[in-house]
Amino acid sequence: MRISPSLAALGLALAAGLAAVPPARALETIELKLPLVETTFSIRLAELSDPGALLAGNSDLAELDQATRGAIGRSLVDLFNAPLPLQALDVARQVVPSPLAQQALLLLSSLGGVDGLPADVSSDTVLKVLDRAAGRGPLTMLGVLEAVPGRTASVDVGKGLFLLQRMNAQLLSAHRLLEGGTAATPAPSLRDPGPLPVRRDTLTLPVTYRPQPLEVVVIRPTQQASGRLVAISHGLWDGPESFEGWARHLASHGYTVLLPRHPGSDRTQQQAMLSGKVPPPGPAELRLRPLDISALIDAAAAGKLGLPGGLDTGSVVVLGQSWGATTALQLAGARPTSQQLQKRCSNLQDPQRNLSWVLQCSFLGAIDQAVLADPRVKAAVAVSPPMSLLFETGTIPVFQGRVLVVSGSRDWVVPPGPEAIAPMARVARLGKDGHRLVLAGGGDHFNMGSPYDQGGGPLRGLLLAWVNGAFAAGPAVAPGPGAPALLPPGGWGGDGLPLVDVSDRLASWNP
């Protein structure tokens, strides 16, 4: 996977293989580049659905398979018929248009190209391709290729197998930890909506560091508010709407929740970028996003948001997903550093390399200005955070506030092995300081959020438990030896995804 100095790699890689063309002409031919062989083999796409028949004849490819005692045939089966690490498209469509769903095909574009396509791409086009592929059964490389318009695709089989094997290895440690743990039992008091009626408002807040004001969604109880403040930061090319279900669930239990739309990396920015109107999100957004959250806390403290009196802005919990999770970690005291970025971004063979490194490596130019901890942030929840290259977690305690990291066992965009388990294991080895890592069995990068009308999603009980615990702990919420537990034992599970707290095993974990 090619390193790019900016997020342009995401759009450009897709543009190489997917564009808005009439669907009448389907992909017919595949040019296969095989490992250790300089010859390219041309086959019909339909033949890949039955590799056994393809390799049983007298073709050069069949003779090569016989000479390798079936190794070539096994490689083709593994590459084209193994399920892609992405759940059914209906899951992605819970957050329509899914902000990172089009990256499902980044793997394909990194293996080669598709001839006969113009060099433009749209989210709708990619979703239509995935729609067609998902309609034929489980998503596989072959199924997606059959849904791609064009004439001829070239595929490097050796490179594809390497990428798939590396991706599967990055998910393996999560599966092993899940096998040895017990899923938390859903507690109705945490899972069910609270008794308080809730209202949703939107407002704009001028800020000095951006040319445009912040759009803010405010979700709060209309009566008996607790006076406690929570903020939620969305991920790359996403928006508050994907996490308003989290906010609604918290608000029904008394919390006031603020959700900013980060203008430099939201869904609107993605659409403008793909149409060629603006460049990709710049590295400065690593600094601007935490400033957005701090600006909201400042505005609430100054009474500029029209909120009822009595709101405590001196103690805040921040939640985030994906890049928003990275933002939450920054605010909780994690210090970005260029050390790992300079050392590892250029190594294409790094076994921990994953799709989120495209984002993390783009931050190198702004890393020194991104240390923006806010002392008012006493605790944080980071769901699927890109973090392995950004934060040095092996030498000193990196968080001033208590941190809960949540990672999905099927998240191939920000895989749990390198991006959650390894960093949190290093933190755990520094001593028991109260931070936690929860793995969501079957969780991917798209199915742990929740729109407003979907009840808070599978994490709602866990999020409420952590937020409740953080405020109940008061000054004791600070991490350190003997820090009290913030999660009730076994009483915060979610519907649909088994949630397992693996924190106590991390200090001795050997992947």
User: String of b and e for 481-508 (b: at least 16 CB within 10 Å)?
Assistant: eebeebbeeebbbbeebbbbbbbeebee
The b/e string for 367-386 (b: 16+ C-beta within 10 A; e otherwise) is: beebebbbebbbbbbbbbbb
Residue 98: band (very low, low, confident or very high) from pLDDT cuts 50, 70, 90? very low
Residue 344's H or E segment, with its range, is helix 339-344
* Cα torsion through 392, 394, 396, 400, rounded to 10: 60
As given in the structure block, the two tokens for residue 488 are: 């009730």
Query: Could you read off the pLDDT of 196-237 as tens digits, one per residue?
Result: 999 999 999 999 999 999 999 999 999 999 999 999 999 988
Which residue, among 371, 382, 380, has the nearest Cα to 479 in the 3D structure?
380
Q: Strand (E) positions, 137-213? A: 152-156, 198-205
Q: Specify the range with the lowest mean pLDDT, choosing from 65-79, 92-106, 475-489.
A: 92-106
d(CA 137, CA 148): 15
Global confidence as pTM: 0.82
Contact in structure between 91 and 242 (CB atoms under 8 Å): no
Here the tokens at position 414 are: 């920000």
Q: For residue 122, give the DSSP letter.
A: -
> 291: closest CA among 257, 327, 318?
327
Contact 245, 453 (CB under 8 A): yes
Neighbour count for residue 168 (Cβ, 10 Å): 14
Helices marked H in 199-322 — which ranges? 244-252, 267-274, 285-301
Local structure of 198: helix, strand or coil: strand
Q: Is the pLDDT of residue 95 over 70?
A: no
Q: Which tens digit of pLDDT belongs to each residue from 163-205?
A: 778 888 899 999 999 998 899 999 999 999 999 999 999 999 9
Give CA 268 to chain center in angstroms. 18
The mean predicted confidence, pLDDT, of the chain is: 82
- pLDDT, tens digit (0-9, with 9 covering 90-100), for 315-343: 999 999 999 999 999 999 999 999 899 99
Kindly list the strands in the beta sheet with 198-205, ordered across the sheet, starting from the edge strand earlier in the chain: 198-205, 214-221, 256-261, 228-233, 312-321, 377-383, 402-408, 436-440, 499-501
Span 26-61, pLDDT tens digits: 677 888 887 767 778 888 877 777 777 777 777 777
